[in-house]
Amino acid sequence: MHPHIKDGGFLVGYCPNIEQAKAFHLGAKPIFNDVFTITSSITNYTMRDLGCRPDNFGMVHTAYLVFAKK
């Protein structure tokens, strides 16, 4: 994809697990100017009159996002 991205443009990878994110990040690092990885998290909360807290169960991690800037 590198040749098809304009200077200053991004390639973004959505990776469901850290090993995929690691492979994408390390593979992009030699050919892109700036590569960084973030995680996207969702936490559901229980709301009550006397307080709120994170739910005990549920989805707490959704994905890793790898950004590679040309």
pLDDT digits (tens, 9 = 90+) for 5-50: 999 999 999 999 999 999 999 999 999 999 999 998 788 889 999 9
Q: Indicate whether 51 pLDDT > 80.
A: yes
Q: How far is CA 70 from CA 40, 44, 64, in A?
A: 23, 36, 20
pLDDT at 36: 97
CA atoms within 13 A on the CB side of 29: 9
